Amino acid sequence: PVVWAGAVSAFLLFVLGWFVTDPLAVSARDAALLVAFGMSFALASILWTEGARLIPAAESGLLGSAEVPFAILFAFAFLAEVPPAASMIGGAIVLCAVFAHAGRDWQAARQRSAGEKSAPEINL
């Protein structure tokens, strides 16, 4: 339902934008970049929405909170934007929480798989 709501709202905004602005004032190169961005954003939104249904809500929220620190990191890496120190510290705290949670889940999965391998088989 969320994906369809997003698609309908995007279509309605497209129609509204067509009449409010001059859409042909965009160069062909910029239009291609906008289409590529729109497609990648739509795909990311669909995958996130569908994937979030498969994991607990707390884990989904924790993973979603990692979006902002990664955006800061990518802006620094690709655009040479230097973020304020508070942003770096806050992003590091959030990423530490995400990686600690992921590491704990990974460790638990390893212990479960090791327990399954060492369990004796009972043949009746």
Measuring CA to CA, how many Å separate 13 from each of 17, 21, 105? 6, 12, 41
What dihedral angle (degrees, nearest 10) is formed by the CA atoms of 85, 91, 97, 102?
-140
44 shares a domain with 100: no
pLDDT tens figures, 10-26: 899 888 888 888 877 88
Q: Is the pTM higher than 0.85?
A: no
110 shares a domain with 63: yes
Examine the fold and report which residue of 34, 54, 74 is the final residue of a domain before the chain moves on: 54
Structural domain including 74 reads 56-124
DSSP 3-state assignment of 22? coil
Which two tokens mark 88? Answer: 């770096």
pLDDT tens figures, 31-81: 899 999 989 988 988 898 888 889 888 888 888 888 889 999 999 999 999
